[in-house]
Structure 1
Amino acid sequence: MRVRHKPWAREMLESHPQYVVSSPEQYKGNWKAVFEKDQPLHIEVGTGKGRFITEMAKANPHVNYIGIELFESVIVTALDRLIEADLPNLRLLNVNGEKLTEYFAKGDVSRVYLNFSDPWPKTRHAKRRLTYKTFLKLYEEILIDKGEIHFKTDNQGLFEYSLMSFSEYGMLLKFISLDLHNSDFEGNIMTEYEEKFSNKGFRIYRCEVQYQ
């Protein structure tokens, strides 16, 4: 993803501590302190511009959400959305998703969303895919028992690879759609990329998997 640099992004993020958690490691094991209500926590790794996580938080006030995004110049758009919506059940983290165990303890998270992650198509880059076995272990270390991953992509190769990765890790495949927008699935909330690719005629793939 090519990101246009926004030199003012860091200052904007720091000026809204009520929405952007600046020292997430201090809440490891105690994320209920960040939210108004003690309820299940779902996180999106690679939240991008925040459309998905913001709409999910609006639609599900009984769930707390955290959007995680590495790039400052991208997450500021998610912050704009959150400022406008002023949702008590959504917070943002501008951190590296590879370090989740520094910020979350076992059982802190009930569900992980992976939406339109970088496919890293070259075989030598497989370890960078967010559905590679080391990442699956990472998620397992912060999720509740029988926690879930919900995964969406437009990339058939990444989807096939991910299904194999989930299966080899011993996860339960609860739901699979090879053409989400032409299925009877209800309640789908699109990301920016999803709308873009779908409008171009790309098929959208989705699955739900559970640790056992």
Structure 2
Amino acid sequence: MVILNGAPRSGKSSIARAIQESFDGVWINLGVDVYEQATPPRYRPGIGLRPGGERPDLEGLVPGLYAALYESMAAHSRLGLNVVADVGHHDAYSKPLHILADCARRLVGLPALFVGVRCPIDVILERRAASAAEKGYVTGSRHDPTPLPVRLWQQAVHDPGLYDLEVDTSRLTPAQCVDAIRGRLRQGPQPTAFQKLSDPSLAARGPL
């Protein structure tokens, strides 16, 4: 199982597709985009809710949605199916929810690699601008070159920053990121990030 965590437009989906195309075996994508399509429109973006407490009316649903998603990942893994999931974890809601720790506990004991997908904010802004017409992304302007929602994602999504592997998509292609993930899966020892994140007191101590 490979969980890719990063801000929108950091390149997670491209890596997930490359894993499905190049890794041996069946790899099921259970990421945020797939899950959003399964979420009723009036409750979207569901687990894709942005940091900053913009929709308190939806926040109460997010822990249950994430729990169901991770239980599904675990079920797939126990049945011998490979899972790749691109998510954007953060706990920057109007009330503390500790969702990442709860999700991590659901994968303890399973072979799950947690990958931080990094990308500088200037590159993310360029990608947002290129996809704005199709996706409706918030983009920078002359008067607001780095909009608050983009800054909040960049600040919140990698907190606390406990990963088994990190890749930078401003320097690596999706194929190169996949090569790095494949190498980490082959080298051992077993991934430990989710084990650490399942204990909030350990996660609070900072990066691995």
TM-score by length of 1: 0.36
TM-score by length of 2: 0.37
User: More strand per residue: 1 or 2?
Assistant: 1
* Higher relative contact order, structure no. (Cα contacts within 8 Å, ≥ 6 residues apart): 2
